[in-house]
Chain A
Amino acid sequence: MHRFAPFPLVVAISLCLLAGAAVGGFGFPSAKGLDVFDVVADPFAYEGPITVRGGVMRADLGKGRFELVDYREYRSCRSVDCAPKWITVFYAGDLPQKGAVVEVVGTVEENAAGAGGFVLRAKGVRIK
């Protein structure tokens, strides 16, 4: 009588998982958080720290600021240069590069230097 050997099954499942991971890895970086269009529509309605996801349109190293465009539009159009609306982010740490997908944790502040009269003062930026 044959004894059931789990090894082939383990290898088969591992191969399937590897294949899945390989296919998934080709996609656009996933990110979680509020969308830029959501925040731009009514920025001062958000209280306390919020997480905003988006693509980096440009970064100004000298001023410690970068512009964030809508994640879903970036994902669909694959370009950060044609966005109709964006958020200005002030960040004291290392700035992400143009085209990076990021999750920004910060608070909305009134500031004439930002698009729409506000900026997002970031406490943290996660590059995806």
Chain B
Amino acid sequence: MTYWRLIWRNLTRRRSRFVFTLSAIAVGIASVVTLLSLGIGLEAEIRRQAEGLGAELLVTPKGWCAYEQISVLTGESLPEALAAAVVDRIRRIDGLTAVPYLTQRAVIRNQPVPLVGVLAGPMKELRGWGLARGEYRLDGRHVVVGHAVAEQFDLHVGAPLRVRGSEFTVAGVLAPVGNRDDLAVYMDLSVAQRVYRTGGKVSFVAVRVDDVRRIDEYIAKIQSAANVAVVSDKQLLRSVLAIVGSVGNALQLIAAVAVLAACFGITNTMMTAIYERRREIGVLDALGAKKSTIFFVFVGESAVYGLLGGVLGVAAGFAFSYVAAPYIGRDEFTAFLGSEQSVKVFDMGITIEALVFAVLVAVLSGLYPALRAAKLSPVEAIGYE
């Protein structure tokens, strides 16, 4: 009988125990894989949205909470909070281009759609937008729409759009850019301020600087010009990732507990197996099997538990991620992203990491039982009834 056949026969000797132990390690690994795949997808989505900002600095009112910081990246409606005078003072600072945003909501066929009030020229330059159809025209009667909004609501050039009782016409459809810009309606800032009665206020200001090496200097200049908070795009990214990470850490702890419980399950299973197979170990000893052979048979059994549990866990984890994807928008930290694409459904890196991790923890769990088995004396083992 070969080494591996011996291991397999031993494992499947007690099928119910085999299933339970395998299930435990599979559940542990599945929870790790699910968290990793959701986490990696989410982080990639956040980074993509942050890159889409196209600005190095963000000027916001002081005291904005986590919800509002995330909303900058997701395009959710934000309170109008920065006065026109503040925006003017920032725009007068040399070496930077300040683009104010007023983020609101319009309604198309009873569905809310992001509406952003912008300065037409600076915004187009900041975002590098192109046109798919029509013309880029923002004024008191015209708006442009993102590509995804046009597709979703079948909005063609010339289509009417009613916003808070005012009639507008779709002048153009932007070329797809692959971020939240595709999901909004764009209106001239002053028109949006009038329609939404914001009293000339905006939600936040995106700032592009001429020299990124002097970014601290620009921050100081903006703060001395106005009583506002200024964050760099990297700080914003870190802040949002930290919010997401703090929730993720709690979930990772649950996954770690599941894996730890599975490890104890393997140790327990292997200890029980040693007591049941004392005579067999004794016979192997008497036939001249080395201590190391007995040791590696038991470690091998643990490793196979890890490998099989890992394979099942990886499959279950990715399957769960796939099933969870449509519901991820309802989760407490991803709700803001509102994206169903923020899930990494399959990743080779995660698969390899999870399998190596599963085998490693299983082998570690099996070390103590294997040592106990290797230390049994042949006389004691054969004499056991």
Decide yes or no whether A94 CB sits under 8 A from chain B.
no
| B76 A9 Cβ-Cβ under 8 A | no
| A12 B23 Cβ-Cβ under 8 A | yes
A9 CB, min distance to chain B CBs, angstroms: 6
Docked Cα-Cα span, A13 to B27, in Å, equals 10
Closest A residue to B113 by CB, please name it: A38
A79 CB, min distance to chain B CBs, angstroms: 10
- Quick one: which of B1-44 are within 8 Å of A by CB? 12, 15-16, 19-20, 23, 27
Decide yes or no whether B104 CB sits under 8 A from chain A.
yes
Docked Cα-Cα span, A50 to B110, in Å, equals 8
B316 CB, min distance to chain A CBs, angstroms: 9
Interface of A is mostly: helix
A48-B110 CB under 8 A given contacts A30-B330, A42-B164 = yes
A101 CB, min distance to chain B CBs, angstroms: 12
Decide yes or no whether B179 CB sits under 8 A from chain A.
no
Closest B residue to A4 by CB, please name it: B15
A12 CB, min distance to chain B CBs, angstroms: 4
A7 CB, min distance to chain B CBs, angstroms: 7
Docked Cα-Cα span, A70 to B103, in Å, equals 16
Docked Cα-Cα span, A4 to B12, in Å, equals 11
| A77 B110 Cβ-Cβ under 8 A | no
Decide yes or no whether A8 CB sits under 8 A from chain B.
yes
B27 partner, pick from A9, A16, A41, A44, beta carbons under 8 A: A16
| A2 B15 Cβ-Cβ under 8 A | yes
Q: Which A residues are CB-close (under 8 A) to B84? A: none
| A16 B112 Cβ-Cβ under 8 A | no
Decide yes or no whether B226 CB sits under 8 A from chain A.
no
Question: How many residues of chain B are within 8 Å of chain A by beta carbon?
Answer: 31
Decide yes or no whether A45 CB sits under 8 A from chain B.
yes
| A45 B106 Cβ-Cβ under 8 A | yes
Q: Which A residues are CB-close (under 8 A) to B70? A: 76
Decide yes or no whether A84 CB sits under 8 A from chain B.
yes
Decide yes or no whether B107 CB sits under 8 A from chain A.
yes
A76-B332 CB under 8 A given contacts A38-B77, A41-B77 = yes
Decide yes or no whether A113 CB sits under 8 A from chain B.
no
Q: Which A residues are CB-close (under 8 A) to B104? A: 41
Docked Cα-Cα span, A33 to B335, in Å, equals 13
A27-B332 CB under 8 A given contacts A42-B106, A42-B107, A46-B107 = yes
Q: Which B residues are CB-close (under 8 A) to A27? A: 332
B264 CB, min distance to chain A CBs, angstroms: 15
| A42 B15 Cβ-Cβ under 8 A | no
| B79 A84 Cβ-Cβ under 8 A | yes
Q: Which B residues are CB-close (under 8 A) to A19? A: 27
Closest A residue to B335 by CB, please name it: A72
Decide yes or no whether B67 CB sits under 8 A from chain A.
yes
1/0 per residue B39-53: CB within 8 Å of A?
Answer: 000000000000000
1/0 per residue A22-35: CB within 8 Å of B?
Answer: 01000110100011
A76-B19 CB under 8 A given contacts A34-B112, A42-B106, A85-B79 = no
- Quick one: which of B196-215 are within 8 Å of A by CB? 196
| A37 B107 Cβ-Cβ under 8 A | no
Q: Which B residues are CB-close (under 8 A) to A112? A: none
Decide yes or no whether B228 CB sits under 8 A from chain A.
no
Top 8 nearest A-B pairs by Cβ distance? A41-B105, A45-B107, A38-B112, A8-B16, A12-B23, A76-B67, A8-B19, A37-B77
Extra inter-chain contacts (12) besides given A41-B104, A76-B336, CB under 8 Å: A5-B16, A7-B16, A8-B16, A9-B19, A19-B27, A30-B330, A34-B112, A38-B77, A38-B112, A39-B112, A41-B107, A41-B112
Binding site for B on A (CB under 8 A): 2, 4-5, 7-9, 11-13, 15-16, 19, 23, 27-28, 30, 34-35, 37-39, 41-42, 44-48, 50, 72-73, 75-77, 84-85
